[in-house]
Amino acid sequence: MEKTDGIGKENVSTEEKQSFKDGSICGYNSLHHLLSANLKPQLYQEVSRLLLGLNCGKALETIVPPESAKALSSKHDFDLQAYKFSADKELLRESRVRVSLIQNSIALPTTAPFSDQKKAIVEKLRPIIDAAGASGVNILCLQEAWMMPFAFCTREKRWCEFAEPVNGESTQFLQEFALKYNMRLWNTAVIIGNHGNIIGKHRKNHIPRVGDFNESTYYMEGNTGHPVFETVYGKIAVNICYGRHHPLNWLAFGLNGAEIVFNPSATVGELSEPMWPIEARNASIANSYFVGSINRVGTEIFPNPFTSGDGKPQHPDFGHFYGSSHFSAPDASCTPSLSRFKDGLMISDMDLNLCRQLKDKWGFRMTARYELYADTLASYLKPDFEPQVISDPFLHKKSF
C-alpha cells in the first residue's frame, strides 16, 4: 500500500502518538496506512481480506492515475487514490463507469466574509476536480454542504446566507466542469448531467437531532422521495448524510433501481466514526448496489461558542470531521479510505454488472418478503398499534 508524505511515517514515538491533534491516527493518514506500516505483509494481507473483502476472489486492484492528476495532487497536497471493482465478464451486457468522491476542508476561517469563504473553497476544489477530469471520471460527488463551513451546530440564522437556489452559483460552477469533462457532478442534492444540464434534485430525507447536529433549525425534512437518476453512466441516487442510519431509506433507493448511491456527509469522530465503515458497506451488500461515502475533513472553529444541550461547557467547534471517504461494493469488498485529515480524491472503476450478479447469487430481492414488512409498518403507523410480543406466562407470576 502506498505510503504518504511525512504523515505515513513508521517511527513515531509514544509521546508523539499521543499528541496528534491533526486528525491523523497516531500519525498515519488512515487506518489502512497504520495497519500496512505495522503488520508483517502476510498479516496485513489477511487483515485486509477481512477488512476490505475480496472482489472477484482477489484483493481490490489499484489503478495508476495519470501523471497530470498525480502532479495536481502533489502540488495542491490532496490524497489521491484509485481502485477498480470488477465483475464476472458477461457476453451481452457491458456496464463500466469511472466514479469519484471528493472530500475537503474549508479554506478560510469561519470569521472571514462569507463570499470570500465560498470563493476560497471553490478555488481549492478546482484542481481536485481537474484531477478527476484528467483521470476520465464520469461521475463525481462532493461532500454535504461543500461550499460552506458546517455551521448548523451554532443554531445562528446568519449562516443561512450561504443557501442558494438550485441553479445558484455553486451549481453553475459545477455545471462548467460537467460540460468540460463530460461528467456528472453533484452538490449534495443537485444532479448535473454531462451536457451541463440539471437532471434533478434530491432533498435530505432525515434531519438529525443528535449532539451538535441540530439541522432542524435550518431546514425541513425532504419531500422528494427516493429518486433515482438515470444517466448514460448508470442509475444513481443520493442518500444525504444522516439518512445512512435509516435502512429503509437505503432500501427505497434500491427498490427504485439505483446502481450507485452516494452518501455525501459531514460527521465527526466522537459521534460516528465506528459506524462509518459498517453502515455503507452493509447498505451496499443488502441492496446490491455500490455506495460512495464522502465526509468532510478538518476542525471548524466558529466565532461564538455554543452548547450541546448536554450540560457540558460551551465550545467553539464541532469536533474533527474525519474524512475517510471510500467506496463499498455489493460483493462486500470496499476500497481503503482517503485520509482522515487531508483533502482527497478517490477514483474507482466499477463494473455495474456486479449489482445484477450479486442479486442473482444471493437472491435477497427474491427472498425479501416485503409484504410481511408492509403489514408490520402499516399497523405500526396506526395510533392503536400494539407490539407483537408474546410474554412468558411465568414472567408476571410471583415467584414462590
- Is residue 125 near ligand URP by the rule CB under 6 A? no
CB 350 within 8 A of CB 343: no
d(CA 146, CA 317): 17
List 118, 141, 144, 215, catalytic entry: 144
Look at strands 209-210 and 198-201 and give their pairing: unpaired
- Is residue 267 near ligand URP by the rule CB under 6 A? yes
Q: How far is CA 3 from CA 8, 33, 336, in A?
A: 5, 7, 13
Q: Which of residues 210-239 bind ligand URP (CB under 6 A)?
A: 213
List 153, 241, 334, 355, catalytic entry: 241
Neighbours of 25 (CB within 10 A): 22
Question: Is 204 a residue of the active site?
Answer: yes
d(CA 221, CA 260): 23
Q: Which residues contact 152 (CB under 8 A, 6 or more apart)?
A: 159, 212, 213, 214, 215, 217, 218
Q: Which is nearer to ligand URP, 36 or 272 (CB)?
A: 272
Q: Which three cell numbers stand for residue 298?
A: 478538518
Question: Is 26 a residue of the active site?
Answer: no
- Is residue 146 near ligand URP by the rule CB under 6 A? no
Q: CA Rg, the chain, in Å?
A: 22
Q: Which is nearer to ligand URP, 100 or 143 (CB)?
A: 143
Q: Which of residues 13-52 bind ligand URP (CB under 6 A)?
A: none
Question: Is 273 a residue of the active site?
Answer: no
Q: Which three cell numbers stand for residue 154?
A: 451554532
Number of residues that bind ligand URP (CB under 6 A): 9
Q: Which is nearer to ligand URP, 1 or 271 (CB)?
A: 271
Q: Which of residues 239-258 bind ligand URP (CB under 6 A)?
A: 241-242
d(CA 338, CA 325): 5
Q: Which three cell numbers stand for residue 20?
A: 496528534
Look at strands 290-295 and 260-265 and give their pairing: parallel
Q: Which one of the spans 103-111, 190-198, 265-273, 329-337 is the region binding ligand URP (CB under 6 A)?
A: 265-273
Q: Which one of the spans 131-139, 165-173, 266-274, 337-345 is the region binding ligand URP (CB under 6 A)?
A: 266-274
Choose which of 266, 297, 338, 347 interacts with ligand URP (CB under 6 A).
Answer: 266
Half-sphere exposure of residue 113: CA atoms within 13 angstroms, side-chain side:
3
List the x/- string, 52-91, binding to ligand URP by CB under 6 A.
----------------------------------------
List 204, 215, 279, 300, catalytic entry: 204
Q: Which residues pair with 295 in a beta bridge?
A: 265
Minimum Å gap between C-beta 277 and ligand URP is 13
Q: Which is nearer to ligand URP, 144 or 331 (CB)?
A: 144
Minimum Å gap between C-beta 148 and ligand URP is 12
Neighbours of 172 (CB within 10 A): 12
Residues in touch with ligand URP (CB under 6 A): 144, 208, 213, 241-242, 266-267, 271-272
Which residues are designated catalytic? Answer: 144, 204, 241
